[in-house]
Amino acid sequence: MHPRSLIPVLLFAAGAGLIGLAVVEGDADVSLFLIFPVFSGSSGTFALGTALVLLGFISGFALLALGQAEAFGTELQGTPSKDRSDGERSRPRYGGVILIGPVPIAFGSDQKVALAMLVIGIVLAIVLLGVLLLLA
C-alpha cells in the first residue's frame, strides 16, 4: 500500500471528526430522512468538516484514476506485472461496500475480498445504528 493512498482516508476521517465535534457542541444537527442520516449546520467547524469530507472523496477518486493510469501506462509499455511462482501474472484485488441505510452491500474481485468487505460493512452498520441510537 502506497502512503499517498492514506491521504483520502485521513481527510475523510478528519472531516467526519469535525462534523461530529460540531454535532456534540450543538453547532450542527442530525436528523433522519427515511433511513439516511442528514447533517446540517452553520458553524465554521461544520463547514471545515464538510470541506474535508469532500476533499477526501475527490482526492480518493483522483488517486484511483492516477493509479489506473500508471498501471495502464506500464502495461502498454511492456513492463511485466508481478509474476507469481507458478508463472501466471497476478491480478489486482479490489472490493467495496455500499451502505444503503443500515444494509451493507459488499462486492469484490474474489470471495476473500468480498467477505472482508461484508464484515467491514456489518461493522459500519452496527456503529452507525449505535451512534443514531445514542443521538436519539
* Mean pLDDT, residues 106-127 taken together: 87
pLDDT of amino acid 85: 58
Residue 18, pLDDT > 90, answer yes
How much is the mean pLDDT over the chain? 81
pLDDT of amino acid 87: 55
The burial class, CB within 10 Å (0-12 / 13-18 / 19+), for 136 is: exposed
Spatial contact of 136 and 121, defined as CB atoms under 8 Å apart: no
Each residue's pLDDT tens digit, 84-102:
555 566 778 888 888 887 7
pLDDT of amino acid 125: 86
pLDDT of amino acid 73: 64
pLDDT of amino acid 17: 92
What span, in angstroms and rounded, lies between the C-alpha atoms of 21 and 24?
5
Residue owning grid cell 493510469:
69
Each residue's pLDDT tens digit, 32-46:
888 788 888 888 899
Residue 77, pLDDT > 80, answer no
pLDDT of amino acid 135: 78
